[in-house]
Amino acid sequence: MEEVNYIKHLNAVFLHISKDSRLNPTHISLYFALFYLWNNNFFRDEFFINRDDVMKLSKIGSRTTYHRCIRELNHWSYFEYLPSHNSFHGSKIRMFNFCTSGGLAMDSSQTKNCTSDGQALVSINKHIQTVTNQKNNNKQQNFKNSNANHSKKQNKQQTVNQYQDNLKTTTDKDYNEPL
């Protein structure tokens, strides 16, 4: 298999997953557990998996859910799953490189970005085009004003009558309001 760029592959898979409405969190967790194992196997064309290990990595507790998800991901061409039906010999997985033109890239612009060897460039204008948030500026002013008011209130609180009804247990009760 050709060389796999970890970050570019992950970005392509995230894009692919975000556009696929069939997937649920269990499918995604299972895919990333297999991607982790693929990475540990140095992105070989094929590698063997142990069901119990993959279930622990992907946090799947049910064998039925595991087998359903792995078969569906295989059917939807996220990878190729070749079950061994032998508990002593793990099942074989062939992961697809989503970041090549031969892989399952969603659109041509994504394929172009994945296969480029250079560093991705960002326009300098992107960082310059910031808008000041008036809400935050107002909060800063309100905070300064509230500090001055708070110190005045603190002085007044020291002269409070100790027998005053602070919990308002005798008046202002509305028994029609829910608790």
Residue 46 lies in a domain: yes
- What average pLDDT is seen over the chain? 77
Average pLDDT over residues 41-69: 96
Q: What is the pLDDT of residue 87?
A: 78
pLDDT reading at 23 higher than 50: yes
What is the number of structural domains in the chain? 1
Residue 142 lies in a domain: no
Residue 118 lies in a domain: no
Residue 165 lies in a domain: no
pLDDT reading at 47 higher than 60: yes
pLDDT reading at 179 higher than 90: no
Query: Taking the model in full, what pTM does it have?
Result: 0.59
pLDDT reading at 64 higher than 90: yes
Residue 36, domain CATH: 1.10.10
Q: What is the pLDDT of residue 178?
A: 74
pLDDT in tens, 68-88: 999 999 999 999 999 998 878
Residue 55 lies in a domain: yes
Residue 60 lies in a domain: yes
pLDDT reading at 92 higher than 90: yes
Residue 90 lies in a domain: yes
For 38, 94, 110, the CA distances from 86, given in Å and listed in that order, are: 21, 18, 39
Three-state SS for 117-177 is CCCCCCCHHHHHCCCCCHHHHHHHHHHHHHHHHHHHHHHHHCCCCCCCCCCCCCCCCCCCC
**Where in the sequence is the domain holding 71, given as residue range(s)?**
6-111
pLDDT reading at 111 higher than 50: no
Q: What is the pLDDT of residue 42?
A: 92
pLDDT reading at 21 higher than 70: yes
Residue 47 lies in a domain: yes
